[in-house]
């Protein structure tokens, strides 16, 4: 009987404390209903306006860190509820309130923001997540009615101060943005933090231009998408920013850009160390002094292209550069990728050269007859070298495997030398460039040697594996390719048995152009990736859009898996989801707005070739 009573009391106690569980180690006798308020799009704005200070947590039900935070967050809310300067605590289920999550650029969970009556924008919460007392102590400074947000370290540029600022500051990163741009909103906190960090110990400045207001500035810099980031140097020189957009990525990239992009070579060891990578050519400046005009051109070029080359310069006599008279610039390939068909060193000697003349010299000589294509130089160099043929195999220049690697490369060299005016040639490692094998549908080929080629328009061709790879069979394939006797390879899923489901037509590589180029239809295309969380969240909205236009016979609402199908030229799909509308005139228009139903309808109505029937 006694055990039954004890068991019953245990259940009662468990039930009593189930509604609110006090974290271990907290000295706060708190009971009763939860204090943290659940917000949705229907009450969010009203709640924020009613309270001077609100701590708002965006969470996901499945998020482990959110679950760990929950009891501490609840107890902190109770501690601050009746404080002298109270703070209201709220939470938003970001998996349900997607529009709020997009509006505040929520990308991870939990994300906590502080909404304050004295600040136009929410402040990122960067305090502790436990215990509750530490959370409460951190937010007390924001609870002070006299608190104001610190001034931004990001300089606002307009047509009035842009030129002066960017030409007089040592180094500036400028963001061209649009207020409605989701990617810009996601970048903003990282940009702000990086600006503050860099201002503390460097002369690097971060600035921004509202391109919807400063239209002349945006047009002068050919701004076509947002955000666009450009690096400016003292004196007015500028180049696109090509670093990461995280806080640390911006800080480290900009600090790197502050240093000289070329290493000074004082001896033969310095010279030899320049050839550390066989997939990047070396550009070596030989100068009398840093007052040489060619030196200034060289350094300026190095600032713009430091990721594509190994840069070095010298004012000394180095035996490996005997015969090179200063001022001059030497372009030299790594010994792994030089051949008997090519010069060891190619020298540029025009002392008063224009930038365009040097650029032309580099473009002509930077790619060896058969170079090594990698993930890095594919973007910086080879992407612009189409038409190109890539021979993919086990490329390994280590001591034990160098001979075999060069054996196959030598078979390619003769053909490459004969057809160098028609195609660029390269080799690629099948493991490191497995994505390239997949691009040509060759990941399951089982062959030791695979060949894939791109023409100038991006169409893909592959060498069939009927015969053994030899110089002769490779040359025969190149000949057929030049004569148009090889059919292009189109990566495509199979056509679905039921292509239209709930008003949405599923496209694949094989039928994409046929459907999209139908001049009797306007076609809206949603490019997605199966793994993309934002795409999954967007699908219900896209389904609602399809239903809204179900009666419109001259509008096709379509979707395509952009990871499993080739996308023709004219569609820039750099991230997911990406949406394009192709009106009856076949000129694709990219959608840049918010991913909500009303904005999508406005976009369709303003760009399609029909009058609204809705």
List residues with catalytic annotation: 63, 66, 181, 184
Provide the terminal-to-terminal Cα distance of the chain, rounded to the nearest Å. Answer: 73
Closest alpha carbon to 205 in 244, 174, 184, 177: 174
The pair of three-digit structure tokens given for residue 560, joined into one six-digit string = 């395509």
How far are the Cα atoms of 6, 7, 204, 330, 601 from residue 2, in angstroms, in the given order? 6, 9, 75, 94, 69
CB 275 within 8 A of CB 334: yes
Gap between the Cα atoms of 354 and 338, Å rounded: 28
* Cα-based angle 224, 229, 231 (whole degrees, multiple of 5): 125
3-state SS of 226-257?
Answer: CCEEEEEECCCCEEECCCCCCHHHHHHHHHHH
- Residue among 267, 265, 123, 259 nearest 203 (CA): 259
Contact 79, 71 (CB under 8 A): no
Nearest CA to 337 out of 405, 389, 400 is that of 405
Helix (H) or strand (E) holding 72: helix 64-81
Separation between Cα atoms, residue 124 and residue 57, nearest integer Å: 11
Burial string for 350-387 (b: 16+ CB within 10 Å, else e) reads: eeebeeeebeebbeebbbbbbbbbbeebbebbbeebbb
Give the span between the Cα atoms of 309 and 312, in whole angstroms.
Answer: 10
The string of DSSP codes covering 188-234 is HHHHHHHHHHHHHHSSEEEEEEETTT-HHHHHHTT--SSSEEEEEET
Q: What is the C-alpha to C-alpha distance for residues 303 and 300, in angstroms, rounded to an integer?
A: 5
d(CA 590, CA 263): 43
With 0-12 / 13-18 / 19 or more C-beta atoms within 10 angstroms meaning exposed / middle / buried, residue 21 is: exposed
CA 580 to chain centre: 19
- Of the candidates 359, 349, 346, the residue with the CA atom closest to the CA atom of residue 308: 359
Return d(Cα 433, Cα 489) in angstroms, integer.
19
Q: Please tell me the distance from the alpha carbon of residue 211 to that of residue 218, in angstroms, as a whole number.
A: 5
Task: Give the whole-angstrom CA distance, residue 180 versus residue 105.
Answer: 12
Q: For residues 213 and 195, give the distance between their C-alpha atoms in angstroms, rounded to a whole number.
A: 22
Omega into 327 within 30° of 0, i.e. cis? yes
CA 70 to chain centre: 33
């Amino acid at each position: 009987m006694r055990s039954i009573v004890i068991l019953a009391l245990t259940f009662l106690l468990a039930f009593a404390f189930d509604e609110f569980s006090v974290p271990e180690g907290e000295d706060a006798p708190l009971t009763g209903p939860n204090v943290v308020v659940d917000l949705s799009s229907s009450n969010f704005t009203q709640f924020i306006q009613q309270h001077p200070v609100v701590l708002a947590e965006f969470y996901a039900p499945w998020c482990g860190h959110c679950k760990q935070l929950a009891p501490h967050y609840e107890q902190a809310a109770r501690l601050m509820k009746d404080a002298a300067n109270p703070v209201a605590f709220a939470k938003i289920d970001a998996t349900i309130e997607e529009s709020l999550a997009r509006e505040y650029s929520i990308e991870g969970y939990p994300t906590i923001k502080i909404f304050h009556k004295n600040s136009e924008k929410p402040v990122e919460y960067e305090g502790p997540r436990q215990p509750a007392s530490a959370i409460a102590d951190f937010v007390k400074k924001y609870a002070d009615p006299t608190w104001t947000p610190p001034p931004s370290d990001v300089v606002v540029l307009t047509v009035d101060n842009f030129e002066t600022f960017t030409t007089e500051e040592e180094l500036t990163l400028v963001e061209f943005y649009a207020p409605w741009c989701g990617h810009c909103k996601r970048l903003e906190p990282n940009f702000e933090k990086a600006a503050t960090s860099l201002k503390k110990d460097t002369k690097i400045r971060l600035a921004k231009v509202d391109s919807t207001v400063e239209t002349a500035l945006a047009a002068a810099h050919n701004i076509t998408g947002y955000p666009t980031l450009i690096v400016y140097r003292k004196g007015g020189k500028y180049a696109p920013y090509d670093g990461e957009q995280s806080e640390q990525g911006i800080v480290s990239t900009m600090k790197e850009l502050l240093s000289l992009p070329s290493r000074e070579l004082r001896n033969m060891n310095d010279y030899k160390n320049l050839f550390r990578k066989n997939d990047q050519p070396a550009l070596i400046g030989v100068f009398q002094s840093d007052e040489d005009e060619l030196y200034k051109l060289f350094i300026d070029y190095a600032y713009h292209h430091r990721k594509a080359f190994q840069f070095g310069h010298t004012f000394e006599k180095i035996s490996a550069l005997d015969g090179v008279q200063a001022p001059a610039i030497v372009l030299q390939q790594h010994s792994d990728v030089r051949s008997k068909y090519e010069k060891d060193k190619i020298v540029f000697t025009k002392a008063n050269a224009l930038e365009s003349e040097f650029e032309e010299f580099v473009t002509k000589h930077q790619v060896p007859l058969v170079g090594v294509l990698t993930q890095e130089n594919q973007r910086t160099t080879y992407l612009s070298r189409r038409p190109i043929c890539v021979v993919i195999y086990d490329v390994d220049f280590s001591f034990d495997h160098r001979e075999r690697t060069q054996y196959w490369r030598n078979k390619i060299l003769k053909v490459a030398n004969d057809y160098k005016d028609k195609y660029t040639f390269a080799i690629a490692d099948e493991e490191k460039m497995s994505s390239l094998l997949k691009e040509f549908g060759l990941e399951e080929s089982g062959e030791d040697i695979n060949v894939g080629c791109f023409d100038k328009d991006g169409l893909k061709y592959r060498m069939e594996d009927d015969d053994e790879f030899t110089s002769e069979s490779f040359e025969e394939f190149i000949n057929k390719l030049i004569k148009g006797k090889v059919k292009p390879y189109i990566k495509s899923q199979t056509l679905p048995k039921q292509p239209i489901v709930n008003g949405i037509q599923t496209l694949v590589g094989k039928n994409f152009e046929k459907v999209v180029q139908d001049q009797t239809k306007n076609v809206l295309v949603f490019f997605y990736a199966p793994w993309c969380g934002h795409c999954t969240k967007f699908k219900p909205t896209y389904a609602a859009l399809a239903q809204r236009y179900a009666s419109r016979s001259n509008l096709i609402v379509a979707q395509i898996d952009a990871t499993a199908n080739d996308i023709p030229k004219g569609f820039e799909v750099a991230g997911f989801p990406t949406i394009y509308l192709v009106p009856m005139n076949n000129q694709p228009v990219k959608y840049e707005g918010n991913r909500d139903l009303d904005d999508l309808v406005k976009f369709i109505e303003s760009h399609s070739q029909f009058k609204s029937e809705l």
